[in-house]
Amino acid sequence: MSDAARPRTPNAAEAGTWTLGDRIVNRIGFGAMRLTGDRVFSHGRPRDRAQALEVLRTAVELGVNHIDTAAFYFSALRSANELINSALAPYPDDLVIVTKVGPGRDPWGEWTESLRPDQLRGQVEENIRQLGLDQLDVVNFRRRDEPDVTEYVGALDELRQAGLIRHIGLSGVDSTEIAAARRIAPIVCVQNRFSLENRQQELEALRYCGEHRIAYVPFFAVSGSRATQPAGPSDHPDADRVIGEVAAAHDASAAQVRLAWILHQGDHVLAIPGTGSVEHLIENVAAARLRLTADEIARLDRIDPDQS
């Protein structure tokens, strides 16, 4: 094969960059949740350790400098934080590792009750130990059923001022809660569930983040209506057909079309697709160069989320 015909190695930088606080990241990153096993938060078959390490190292080689993880991302035999530490430490200077606190799991994998704000320090320190760091780049408070996020943001801000945290983010919040949190401390990112089939309730938060130059980081963006399951057929009656037609026009995959659509939602939107496969990782990063036409974007936008 001639050099001209040889497929070009993709790079995450092709999607452009955004800032997380004072750190610049490429807009396609990597989510570490699926590194630990074939089922999310269960005792399914663990990933091959060597393969998981290869995925992480390949991600960095492909320009990924934003990795999303958490201490509660673990299965019976694998810990996402430990894998990241083993694969990438000492860490590249430009790598930003984003963790999250709030939810917790005991050593048997069972979810614990909601934590008090003063208990967040233990989770922050756990992430620091597992990752082998002295300071966490960004810590998201992952809201579950807490009626008021401001006390938790205040607790994280104390840890920020103590030097354990560089920046604070939020997850699972609406625009009103983001605004309330920003009165307590600077917020650099918001991580919410958002996809073609699950977006209607998130549009206001997406808009708010764009107006205030806060990174908006969708999760479950590729799996769509299937949420915690690996990417595959959608439960939406029109999504598979429309996405398939757009993908065929670009010789692309459905996952790549989904990622390109996500990135089109605004320069402040960051993608963090996760996978335990090097092949799928390369495919995801290659979505950085996919440019959808205005007509294709309009067709995808017309998919009605309420029908999923």
73, 91, 152, 216: the active-site residue: 73
173: its two tokens: 């919040």
Examine residue 90 and say whether the peptide bond preceding it is cis (omega within 30 degrees of 0).
yes
- Read off φ and ψ for residue 59, nearest 5 degrees: -55, -45
Residue 293 to residue 284: CA distance in whole angstroms: 19
Residue 54 to residue 276: CA distance in whole angstroms: 9
Residue 182 to residue 48: CA distance in whole angstroms: 41
97: its two tokens: 């590792």
Give the containing element (helix H, strand E) for 257.
Answer: helix 254-263
91 in catalytic set? no
Residue 18 to residue 154: CA distance in whole angstroms: 26
Residues 262/269, Cβ–Cβ less than 8 Å: yes
Query: Which residues are designated catalytic?
Result: 73
